[in-house]
Amino acid sequence: METSPKILIIDDEPDNFDVIDTLLESEGYQLSYASNGNKALNLLKTFQPDVILLDVMMPQMNGIEFCQKFKSHSQWKHIPVIMVTSLTDKEDLSKCLAMGADDFLSKPVNGLELRARVKSMLRIKQQHDALQETMRLREDLSQSIVHDLRNPLTIILSSAAILRTSDYSPERQEKKTMNIITAGQRLQLMIDSLLLMAKLESGKMVLTRTEVDLHELCASALADLEPLAVQNRRKPIGNLPAPGGSICVDRSLFRRVVDNLLSNAIKFAPPDSEIILSADYPAPGRARIQVADSGLGVKEELHQIIFEKYEIGTPIKESSQLGLGLAFCKMVVEAHGGYIKVNNNLPQGAIFTIEVSNPK
């Protein structure tokens, strides 16, 4: 829930606060008042405004001294300060700027000018806050990507080291070799997804459309996924159209979409449950694919969010969830002029549906 912007007025004359309060009454701001600079510094320990209106001429600590202390603090220096002053000497005004003031208002204060300058400073503050949030998200994302890429790399290195130094039986050697191959494939899939999404976002990805048989594509995906499904005690089932139909899509990208949806279903489906891959041609020149599981499902409020980059619907322990799989699916399907959506699979689970059509 959004809160109203907070404005702190620092002035030794309470009447001046009343004037500003009246002039800003219609804007819906939260106004706070401090009668001098020392009180304001104490207040800032528990209260952080979005803009400060600061009187220059005050006893004990004048506005220039307050501004110098305030702007030297790393937690506060990004907060805009508007000096409210009757000073007109350019040397005095330059001192205010040198101490970090962001704008000026001359006394007596004009209501129209006051509102315009406060709004201007609020925009600056909002831009700063948005930039900080973006930087925080990028840092979190970088840590997440490094973590997710490190996991399969650790498996590869540790398994290779064990094979090199241990006298394993052929069966155990085969198992460690498969661990290396599986981890390498996971690593390649993550890197490929990042690169492909970058191309799709930049508009540099060119679709190579060919006539693709849904039966063949889906049957191949099910067959390739069978070992992983068996390992995780899931049972994949195909409900596919008869061979011979076709849709004009980029086969490689479209196959990756199907693989991603099936892999997600294996993650979320409970042991000994079925994962159903359905495909059909609902109309000439149109194709529809659905993947259904009986897992945790997707909360209603997350039905759109989960298709955004780096968004994770339900965290799973000991499972890599970079938040790229569904975002990749959405970008590929939309690049084909289609759509992807998720619905509840009653009584439990989720159904992911994609639909595309031949280019016109």
pLDDT digits (tens, 9 = 90+) for 309-328: 555 545 444 444 445 678 88
| Cα torsion angle, 144, 147, 151, 153, sign | positive
* pLDDT score, position 48: 87
pLDDT digits (tens, 9 = 90+) for 121-151: 999 888 888 888 767 766 655 565 666 677 7
Facing residues of 162 across strands? Answer: none
pLDDT digits (tens, 9 = 90+) for 191-236: 776 676 677 666 666 788 999 999 999 999 888 888 777 777 888 8
Q: Rounded distance, CA 89 to CA 335, Å?
A: 61
Q: Rounded distance, CA 249 to CA 235, Å?
A: 28
- Give yes or no for residue 338 having a pLDDT over 90: yes
* pLDDT score, position 316: 47
At how many degrees (to 10) do helices 251-268 and 214-231 cross?
30
Indicate if 209-357 has the same CATH topology as 6-109. Answer: no
Q: Rounded distance, CA 264 to CA 271, Å?
A: 14
Q: Which of 327 and 52 is assigned the larger pLDDT?
A: 52
pLDDT digits (tens, 9 = 90+) for 236-264: 889 999 999 999 999 988 888 898 888 88
pLDDT digits (tens, 9 = 90+) for 56-73: 888 878 888 888 888 888
Ramachandran assignment for 337, one of left (phi > 0), alpha (psi -120 to 50 degrees), beta (any other): left
- Give yes or no for residue 89 having a pLDDT over 70: no
Residue 29 in 3-state DSSP? coil
Task: Among 93-102, 133-142, 199-208, 275-284, name the most confident range.
Answer: 275-284
pTM of the model: 0.52
Q: Within 13 Å of residue 144, how many CA atoms lie on the same side as its CB?
A: 18
pLDDT digits (tens, 9 = 90+) for 152-203: 777 788 877 777 776 777 777 777 787 787 777 777 766 776 676 677 666 6
pLDDT confidence bin for 75, thresholds 50/70/90: confident
Q: In the CATH hierarchy, which fold is given to the domain comprising 136-202?
A: Helix Hairpins (1.10.287)
Q: Which CATH number fits domain 6-109: 3.40.50.2300, 3.40.250.10, 1.20.1560.10, 3.40.190.10?
A: 3.40.50.2300
- Give yes or no for residue 286 having a pLDDT over 90: yes
* pLDDT score, position 193: 66
Q: Give the whole-number percent of the chain exceeding pLDDT 70.
A: 84
Phi/psi of residue 172, each to 5°?
A: -70, -35
* pLDDT score, position 10: 87
In sequence order, the 6+-apart residues with CB closer than 8 A to the CB of 225 are 236, 259, 262, 263, 266
Do you find a cis peptide bond into 270, omega within 30 degrees of 0?
A: no
* pLDDT score, position 203: 67
Residue 216 in 3-state DSSP? helix
* pLDDT score, position 319: 47
The domain ranges of the chain are: 6-109, 136-202, 209-357
* pLDDT score, position 35: 86
Q: Which CATH number fits domain 209-357: 3.40.50.2000, 2.40.50.1020, 3.90.1150.10, 3.30.565.10?
A: 3.30.565.10
Q: Which of 289 and 297 is assigned the larger pLDDT?
A: 289
